[in-house]
């Protein structure tokens, strides 16, 4: 008789539980008696065994969503591209947050106890790795790398040391995410760079970002908020999970039964400081609306945990104007009030949104007024700086004009003074 397959689920390098795949292909997860904190809000610390649906939602959420990426990973490691357990057994050594999935008998190595082990990449090597990303997702197989990142877009996790891009060994956590341009769409690197920098100027918490180039390849370099240097030679992982994982949601888009804004705000009632975190979420909801980010779904919000299992809302990420691309939907991922379409959202819809999520409409109104007044100025200033670099592009002027148009329309609806 076949035995169940098992992986050790570890948090910050310490065994926390066991993920099994049963003989019929189903997943189940059970905490060890020694576990002190939960791995997810959807998997509370308990002596019971969690079944397939919740396991697929949380553990499947650690993997890339792209079919191409899953197939390439499966081909490389002899895994099943449609099997979460099989894929995690192949690349689960370093996942988002502080989670790792390794064979049961793997020696225990707590985070911070390993000396930094990295290899610096030349520009030509990095350029080749970026070009090869469609065939080798996550820089798969390069120097034995076996790590996972969620999401659809092609990307890789790297280390940055002395301002140079490096690749780690399996024992060294990565510190940055590298996102090359999306070939189907114009200037996505500049788009996300400007939107992230503008959010930061408005006081919205976002990771530090930079635009770089390796040979012919432009890319966005994003500092990971789920990593920190313990000292110059040790990196520790900070646990995080996205809102879909935390809410046990299998779909990320509200119209397909994924979480809506009310569920997201309700989740933050359990935060260490709910009032501050809920106000931060209002800020990014307004910001995403103004810049025309239709893809602000529940996997693009996250929780960040301390070692006791308490959480705060994480810095925001994957922020860019999708509205400017004609081939992309202009329907928002989460509706405001009763509307998914940007141009149909009324002040009454904003009031209804506040009512449902038990938020202060006067606070939201002040945020709308502040952002709609200042964002066009901030974007123009950032664009002027970018135009003095090798990364200048005519696209950014179009982006600024689109956001100015959005701000004017919003100010008219709210009847703000000119």
How would you list the strands of the sheet with 311-313, edge to edge?
Answer: 240-242, 302-305, 311-313
Q: Long-range pairs for 252-258 at CB < 8 Å and ≥24 separation?
A: 252/297, 252/298, 252/299, 252/333, 253/297, 253/333, 254/297, 254/333, 254/334, 254/335, 255/331, 255/335, 255/340, 258/297, 258/298, 258/333
Structure tokens at 145: 């790398």
Which residues face 160 on adjacent strands?
165
Give the separation between CA 83 and CA 26, rounded to whole angstroms: 10
Q: Contact, 311 vs 304, CB < 8 A?
A: yes
Q: Contact, 175 vs 117, CB < 8 A?
A: no
Q: Contact, 80 vs 74, CB < 8 A?
A: yes
CB-count exposure of residue 68 (10 Å: 0-12, 13-18, 19+): middle
Q: Contact, 350 vs 337, CB < 8 A?
A: yes
Torsion over CA of 115, 121, 125 and 129, rounded to 10 degrees? 50
Q: Contact, 189 vs 391, CB < 8 A?
A: yes
For 46-77, give the DSSP string.
-SSEE-HHHHHHHHHTTSB--HHHHHHHHHHH
Per annotation, catalytic residue among 226, 295, 318, 383: 295
Active site residue 266: no
Q: What's the chain's length in residues?
A: 418
Give the separation between CA 287 and CA 21, rounded to whole angstroms: 42
- Residues with a catalytic annotation lie at 295
């Amino acid at each position: 008789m076949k035995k169940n397959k098992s992986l050790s689920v570890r948090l910050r390098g310490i065994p926390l539980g066991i993920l099994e795949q049963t003989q019929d292909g189903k997943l189940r997860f059970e905490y060890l008696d020694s576990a002190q904190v939960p791995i997810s809000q959807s998997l509370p610390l308990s002596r019971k065994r969690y079944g397939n649906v919740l396991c697929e939602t949380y553990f499947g959420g650690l993997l890339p969503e792209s079919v191409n990426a899953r197939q390439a990973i499966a081909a490389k490691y002899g895994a099943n591209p449609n099997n979460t357990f099989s894929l995690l057994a192949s690349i689960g050594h370093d996942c988002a947050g502080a989670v790792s999935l390794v064979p049961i008998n793997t020696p225990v190595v707590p985070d911070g106890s390993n000396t930094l082990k990295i290899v610096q990449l030349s520009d030509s090597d990095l350029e080749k790795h970026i070009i090869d990303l469609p065939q080798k997702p996550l820089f798969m197989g390069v120097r034995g790398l076996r790590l996972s990142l969620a999401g659809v877009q092609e990307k890789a996790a790297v280390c940055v040391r002395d301002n140079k891009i490096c690749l780690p060994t399996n024992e060294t956590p990565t510190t940055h995410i590298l996102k090359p341009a999306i070939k189907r769409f114009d200037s996505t690197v500049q788009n996300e760079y400007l939107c992230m920098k503008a959010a930061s100027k408005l006081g919205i918490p976002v990771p530090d970002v930079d635009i770089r180039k390796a040979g012919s390849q432009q890319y966005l370099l994003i500092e990971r908020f789920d990593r920190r240097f313990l000292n110059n030679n040790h990196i520790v992982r900070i646990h995080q999970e996205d809102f879909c994982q935390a809410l046990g949601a299998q779909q990320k888009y509200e119209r397909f039964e994924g979480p809506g804004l009310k569920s997201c705000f309700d989740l933050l009632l359990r935060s260490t400081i709910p009032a501050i975190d809920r106000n931060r979420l209002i800020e990014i909801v307004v910001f995403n609306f103004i810049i025309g980010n239709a893809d602000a779904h529940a996997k693009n919000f996250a929780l960040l945990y301390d070692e006791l299992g308490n959480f705060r809302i994480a810095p925001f990420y994957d922020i860019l104007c999708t509205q400017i691309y004609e081939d992309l939907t202009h329907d928002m991922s989460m509706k405001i009030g009763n509307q998914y379409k940007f141009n149909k959202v009324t002040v009454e819809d904003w009031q209804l949104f506040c009512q449902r999520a038990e938020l202060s409409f006067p606070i939201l109104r002040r945020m709308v007024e502040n952002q709609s007044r200042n964002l066009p100025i901030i974007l123009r200033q950032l664009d002027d700086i970018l135009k003095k670099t090798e990364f200048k592009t005519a696209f950014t002027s179009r982006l600024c004009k689109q956001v100015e148009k959005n701000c004017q329309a919003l100010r008219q609806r709210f009847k703000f003074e000119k």
